[in-house]
Structure 1
Amino acid sequence: MSLRVGDPAEIGGYVLEARLGSGGMGTVFLARTGSGRPVAIKLIHQQFAADEEFRTRFRQEVAAARRVSGAFTAAVVDAAPDAEQPWMATSYIEGDTLSQHIAAKGPLGGAELRRLAIGLAEALRDIHRVGVVHRDLKPSNVVLSPEGPRVIDFGISRAADQQTLTMTGRIIGTPPFMSPEQLQAPRGVGPRSDVFSLGTLLVYSVTGHGPFDADSPYMTAYQVVHEEPALDAVPQPLRALVELCLDKEPERRPSADELLVLLRDLPSDLGTAGGDGLGASRTRDVTTRHDEVTSRTAGAILPAEAPPSPAAPRTADAHADAPDAARAPVVPDVPGDHADPGDTTLNGRRPRRRWRSVLAAVVAVSAVGGGVAVVTAAGSGESGEAKNSGVAAPAPPDGFAPWRRTVLGGRADIPDELRCVARGEAVFCGGGGVVASRLDVKDGSRVWTVKSRGVPVQGLYLVGATQDTVLGYRFAPEDAPQEPRREVVALDAKTGHELWSVPTDTQSQAVTGRSQEALVAGTAVVSVDATGSHLEARDAHSGDVTWKTPFPAGTRCAPVLAGTRLLAMCARDGEIDALDVRHPTLYTVNRASGRLGSPLAVKGPVVPVGATGGRLALLRVHKEGPASTGYDGVALADPATRKVTYAPLARTYDGTPGMAGGTVYVSGQTGRVTAIDPESGRAKWSRQTAVEGASGPAAGERALYFSSATGRVVALSPSTGEILWTTDPRVDGLTGEQGSGPRVTVAGGALVVAADKNTLFAFDARKPPKSG
């Protein structure tokens, strides 16, 4: 496609000719060297340039790509990972990606399929020989060039002798093509994870779909970890090889070298989807050949018997939260995985270990779009049904009727989730390309919308609202570098007219672990100034500065609220630059003068989650090397007494934290919600729900509400965790973002829910939508 208005004319001295494509992290251009040689230049989006964690990841991508440049990959020509806007140039490979080819021409077969399989195995062999694991082998990362397949995009690869870099709060990888170990323990992923991904690619190539496809990414992840692949449409001789690649145990898969030997023995007439190819005798030949190869190269023989057919999963163990349980949400055993304790084989295979995974969907989750959710209470073993009978709540405004609306922002290519606040019968929402929008709670009718043309920052939504003013974020377009990168914008609540705007610096994520560059404290707005060196307060409506306070020397700070008490959370420059804040300090901030109180040191790393009794509650982050793997403790900081109390958690809880009614909640990616007493660290209750990747809580009169990006909502009893009702999904959406703020807004008896693709809908909490 041709260049667009605002695209650069050249990058690093390379003249650009066309756009090849654009994704979430960057844009790829076709360019020419001085001698006329075509190259592909990947230019990272501007909003990631200041993200040091992302820069580290991009440097890793460049290093990995340089390390593996060869006949089956795109060679690195040039790169500038430390440029103001990082970029990398590779040799241009002409041809469609595998996903484009399948979409346009359908599945592969015969000699074409055999060439693809061998070419990919050769690519993996060369990649693994230099000690690199790709970790994102998928159809869009395979280019079908005239010379054969080429593997591209080493954006999440790593050298085997390096620590894995995990982007905070983001799922790294593509579930349908990820291995079980990558979903469960990404830091331990090795070369045979890529072999598993190759197996899924081969199934996709011959059938047009993956072997573990499901209705949601988390059900897909569950299938990858627990279920056997769907291979009925794969030709027999290839099926035998794919089964070996898709073994759940990494050590039982062939290496890339071993796989090459087996692939070269395959006939060229492999057949296509649904074709039988050669018969079962050929399948046995391939398996026998694999036994010979692995016996010669690794001294181990893999049995040829097929794994047992999976049965319907059981509910969770009654002792899922016992102290000796693994430090991650327990995923129940799959029937058929059990054997007599004295046996060392199960149907000819070693018994598979009990998989426990943050990302695997718990078996109690109902299928997307189907039925009433059946859940299990942790620690009790009893099942409870979501009866959708409503909750005790005040009546919505007169004339209320359930509604659904889409609020479009300034750019259609960046739809985002919104976040909302309610004021009387008005609800104000913002996020992504929407600075703010006012809707009527009764019918969802839009009163006004103010848009932003820039690329938003993940996790930044609406600042808040007072009685007469709404405050949101505006982001500068990529083609307007002279404009402030981001601003806090004040809008008149009645008309949407802009009252004032001010640039704000970005550092809250580095200091507090949460994206909140500004906040509303009473009738004031408190933010970090454009220089990144002061906190400043302004009257929310007029924009007049009431005070400006410099950060303590050698630190950077972000505003935090503990109930009505305003605090500054600060960290040392060196720790922020190293992305490793372990010694944060809290200061009370006088709301009238901005004067800082005495420092209160906190043992970190910690993330503030809410307040109880004037004390700030913080969850301690559990780290394994540079990666954050959840929360293992809770702290209560009392600025009045200048004391901090700490309590360990019985296990590490991974997920999205929140607080309501003096209780801390962590909602895991698989749908389990755990209520934690911040005084003792004790889990009050833990409940498995059908809402994967939920954020919350939003507190009603007698219920807590959690919701995911799909719009699925669950209402829980605050005292017991009993499920009061659950709704079905309302939109297609991913649920991978952790640390996200509550998506449900309580407006009297009405619930306003924000979902993916700028979707909002509302219903009566007493009469939730029926499931099924």
Structure 2
Amino acid sequence: MSLRGGDPAEIGGYPLEARLGSGGMGTVFLARTSSGRPVAIKLIHQQFAADEEFRIRFRQEVAAARRVSGAFTAAVVDAAPEAEQPWMATTYIEGETLAQHIAAAGPLDGAELRRLAIGLAEALRDIHRVGVVHRDLKPSNVVLSPEGPRVIDFGISRAADQQTLTMTGRVIGTPPFMSPEQLQAPRGVGPASDVFSLGTLLVYAATGSGPFDADSPYMTAYQVVHEEPSLGAVPEALRVVVGTCLDKEPEGRPSADELLVLLRDLPADLGGRDAAGPGAGRTRDVLTEQHDAMHSTPVPAAVPAGSGAAAGTFAGRRLRDRWRPVLAAAVAVAAIAGGVAALDPGGPDGDEGADKGAGVAAPSGSLPDGFEPWRRTVAGGREDIPDELRCVARGDALFCGGGGVIATRVNARDGSREWTVKSPGVPVQGMHLVGAAEDAVFGYRIADQDVPQDPPVEVVALAADDGRKLWSAATGAQSKAVSGRSQDAVVSGSAVVMVDGANSRLEARDARSGEIVWATPFPEGRRCVPVQEGRRLLAMCASDAELDTTEVRHPALHPLDRASGKLGEPVAVDGPAVFAGEADGKLVLLQEHMEGPAFTGYDGIALVDMAAGKATYSRLDRTYGGTPGMADGVVYVSGQTGLVSALDPATGRRKWSRQTSVEGASGPVAGGGALYFSSATGRVVALAPEDGRALWSTDPRAEGLTGEVEASPRVTLAGRAVVVAADKNTLFAFDAKNPPKSG
């Protein structure tokens, strides 16, 4: 299609050759690089350029597309999300879309259909492995290139642990290819939603019609949520696999890894359509009944201590049983990787003045000697999948870790690295440092998938001066399920308190030698994790029954004696709830609001008086979505679009709300009369604690997603130096009194 009058002659220095198409959000042009390589440039419509909410979504699209660039997607060549009229250039993929092909040539069958299914499953596997959910998988977003299918357009994608950003007043997506949870509670969608969309897309590819097609979008949406899919025209060999993808419940669907195994087991030639075959109409056929039988097969109860399956049992807060038990061993490491997000070196309260055993220095008002602003990248064990780091400060030394970095020592003065110890496994977004004590620092090691004899997750102790290994011990990956924090170990004085590798007890190890000081079995029928708030050491426990259903609604808090490990009398809490911090000697937990299985935010506060043995509750004026934190006795929730709200933990009353330009921020960190919030893009805002007015803010410093919900604070204070962690293992520092100029 040739250029039209009014189309630009070039964008970002790329001369345009043709108009490829136009949609509701932008126009796509064919252009050339200086070397002659063709690229597709997406230019956002002018009317959206001034809409900050839309700009946030477009920055998110660019970051997601960069993150997933690979064999099955269109690689990002260049982008200018901050331009007056934002644009993004990707590799031009020659070929028609699946929608165009079906319209012109009809449905696919045989080996061609099988190749499409496997190619798309491989694409989803790669997308999900880097922590992204596409959320708009449909025929027009699949290009049939000579090299195989490519998935394009990450315009409404998000990080898997990140709260959905939606355009105000709209449900975003395409109903015939949306999952039930995306239609009902879009803030709760995860990778399983993409698997459902892939199922609908494969039905469309095989039959020319969607499995829930109706006369109107409203009826289509109703049938997606309530009715059985129409699979009668799908080839028999593919039908059972598609049926599992279209389970109404996300936990009933296979993961992308499991789906790939199922598809590769199909015959090379799937055969043609069989409209009169078994299962015609919206009834379950024999093959679907076989799926139900497999889905109900019990997982073996006995799992060897320290095995991948054991360590992954309670990896996610709402992790369901694996869809197909016979595949559990193959995906055990992936299950662990998906569930240890948001490891927190000091807890999500963000109060760096509290003694958490992590050695965080209180702001002294001075800079490290010879300080100059700096920026560094710390390479991890898997440089192809970078992550975010988290840091603690001891004097002029910063100890940072996360993902593929067990720990690194960085000089706060200039960012120079003194040593780095890497983790060989696949980095996990949100997995961070344990902490530091005396002359040791502690991090997490994820095992390489190709070395099954290694413990899936270990706590590793390193000497602070030179990074040499002091000791390591396997730990369970269950804390997220119990407490809402992915923190299986805490530093408590001169000991590290952790869950053992068999998920059977709490144990304290000497910080220097690693010798077990005490070991306390979990109470009968319960699983526990250590929690440290200020100087308090606690165990948070949940019943096996609630963990089996992945709905922890009645957790209990036990005082935990530091010297002996003895558990005190429990205090029950109405849940689900996550720790925020401590105020006036009481523990503060935020109560989660659920819509079915979907988490939508926080609607209440629980104050737990351990001395009195009781909890009191207050309701919030509304449900607050975003990332919680706490500083100086005040609860803060920072939303995905930059809104920060301050809440009184005693009454639940809102003290103030402030709209900022820092989307998806975590925090706060308090110091020097300011509260610091920062996003994965490296944007930082400093707010006044009394009324939330903005003292200053900075521009992005890294290409990244807006960050997962419940992320721990990204800012560390080293005296007056503000040290910020951002996406792609980026660290940078500047003077709090002379922040980088915005704009």
TM-score after normalising by structure 2: 0.57
Paired position in structure 1 for 2:491: 520
Deviation beyond 2 Å, 4+ runs, structure 1: 96-109, 111-123, 138-143, 145-152, 166-190, 249-256, 456-460
Preserved contact between residue 97 and residue 144 of structure 1 (Cα < 8 Å): no
* C-alpha distance after superposition, 1:526-576 (max 9, x if no partner): 100111111111121221221111111000001111210101000001111
> How has the CA–CA distance of structure 1 residues 711 and 180 changed in structure 2, closer, same or farther, with 3 Å as cutoff?
farther
1:576 is paired with a residue whose SS is: helix
Length, aligned pairs only: 470
What letter matches 1:186 in structure 2?
Q
Question: For residues 459 and 170 of structure 1, what CA distance do their matches in structure 2 show?
Answer: 11
Q: CA deviation at 1:427?
A: 0.5
Structure 2 residue corresponding to 1:545, chosen from 516, 526, 529 = 516
Secondary structure in 2 matching 1:728: coil
Aligned AA (1:144): L
Unpaired segments ≥5 residues, structure 2: 1-70, 77-88, 110-116, 118-133, 187-192, 202-215, 224-362
CA contact (8 A) 2:674 2:686 kept: yes
Q: In structure 1, what is the equivalent of residue 709 of structure 2?
A: 738
Q: Contact 1:745 / 1:752 at 8 angstroms: preserved in 2?
A: yes
Structure label with greater radius of gyration? 1
Task: Give the match for residue 161 of structure 2.
Answer: 169
Aligned residue number for residue 580 of structure 1: 551
Query: Residue 771 of structure 1: CA displacement?
Result: 0.7
- The CA distance in 1 between the partners of 2:485 and 2:519, in whole Å, is 23
- What percentage of aligned pairs have identical amino acids? 60
SS where residue 481 of structure 2 aligns? helix
Amino acid at match of 1:640: A
Aligned to 2:400: 429
- Cα distance between partner residues in 2 of 1:177 and 1:149: 27
Residues 1-37 of structure 1: CA distance to partner in whole angstroms, max 9, x if unpaired? Answer: xxxxxxxxxxxxxxxxxxxxxxxxxxxxxxxxxxxxx
- Please report how far the alpha carbon of residue 186 of structure 1 lies from its aligned counterpart in structure 2 after TM superposition: 2.8
Task: Report the alpha carbon displacement of residue 393 of structure 1 after superposing the two structures with TM.
Answer: 7.3
- What is the CA–CA distance in structure 2 between the aligned matches of 1:769 and 1:524, rounded to whole Å? 39
What do the CA deviations read for 1:472-519 (whole angstroms, capped 9, x no partner)? 001100000100101101111111111111100111000011111101
Distance 1:674 1:171 in 2: 16
Displacement of 1:136 = 3.1
The structural deviation recorded for 1:141 is 6.3
Conserved 8 A contact 2:558-2:569: yes
Q: CA 1:138–1:767 in 2, change beyond 3 Å: closer, same or farther?
A: farther
Q: Structure 2: which amino acid aligns with 1:548?
A: A
Q: Is the 8 A contact 1:428 1:439 kept in 2?
A: yes
Three-state SS of the structure 1 residue aligned to 2:480 is helix
**How far apart are 1:414 and its partner, in Å?**
2.0
CA separation in 1, counterparts of 2:667 and 2:106? Answer: 43
Query: What letter is aligned with 2:173?
Result: S
Q: Secondary structure at the match of 2:434?
A: strand
Give the deviation of 1:151 after TM superposition: 9.4
Distance 1:709 1:98 in 2: 23
**CA 1:562 to 1:482, structure 2 compared with 1: closer, same or farther past 3 Å?**
same
Q: Deviations over 1:333-359 (max 9, x none)?
A: xxxxxxxxxxxxxxxxxxxxxxxxxxx
Deviation at 1:599, TM superposition (A): 1.1
- Judged with a 3 Å threshold, the aligned counterparts in structure 2 of structure 1 residues 250 and 678 are, in CA distance, closer, same or farther, namely farther
Q: Which amino acid aligns with 1:652?
A: T
Query: Aligned to 1:672, which of 640, 643, 646?
Result: 643
The 1:98/1:444 distance shift into structure 2, 3 A limit, reads closer
SS of 1:730's equivalent in the other structure is coil
Q: Name 2:173's counterpart in structure 1.
A: 179
Measured after TM superposition, the shift of residue 645 of structure 1 is 1.1
> Structure 1: how far apart are the matches of 2:491 and 2:420?
20
Contact 2:531 2:539 survives alignment (8 Å): yes
Query: What is the CA RMSD across the aligned residues, in angstroms?
Result: 4.1
**Gap change, CA 1:748 and 1:184, over 3 Å in 2:** farther
What is the CA distance between 1:100 and its match in structure 2?
8.0
- Give the match for residue 541 of structure 2: 570
**Structure 2 equivalent of residue 137 of structure 1:** 137
SS at match of 2:566: coil
Maintained 8 Å contact 1:709/1:735: yes
Offset of residue 611 of structure 1: 1.2
Amino acid paired to 1:188? Q
1:595 corresponds in structure 2 to: 566
In structure 1, the partner of 2:459 is 488
What is the identity, as a one-letter code, of the residue corresponding to 1:503? A
Aligned AA (1:408): A
1:732-754: CA deviation from partner (whole Å, max 9, x where unpaired): 00014111100000111001100
Greater alpha carbon shift after TM alignment, 530-539 vs 607-616: 607-616
* Structure 2 residue 184 is matched with structure 1 residue 188: yes
Distance 1:145 1:699, change over 3 A: closer
* Partners of 1:405 and 1:759 within 8 A in 2: yes
Find the aligned partners of 1:535 and 1:525 in 2 and give their Cα distance. Answer: 10
| C-alpha separation in 2, matches of 1:479 and 1:414 | 17
Counterpart-to-counterpart distance in 2, 1:406 and 1:665: 30
Instruction: Quote how far apart the aligned CAs of 1:578 are.
Output: 1.0
Counterpart of 1:441, as a letter, is A
Structure 1 alignment gaps of length 5 or more = 1-95, 128-133, 158-165, 202-248, 257-391
**Shift in alpha-carbon separation, 1:399–1:186, aligned structure 2, 3 A:** same
CA distance in 1, matches of 2:730, 2:146: 43
Distance in 2 (alpha carbons) for counterparts of 1:521 and 1:254? 52
Distance (whole Å) between structure 1 residues aligned to residue 591 and residue 512 of structure 2: 37
Shift, 1:187, TM fit: 3.9
Aligned to 2:321: none
The 2-side partners of 1:588 and 1:623 are apart by: 28
Give 1:420's match in structure 2, choosing from 383, 387, 391: 391
Pairwise CA distance, 1:719: 1.1
User: How far is the alpha carbon of 1:457 from its aligned partner?
Assistant: 3.8
1:638 match: 609
* Distance in 1, Cα, partners of 2:75 & 2:105: 18
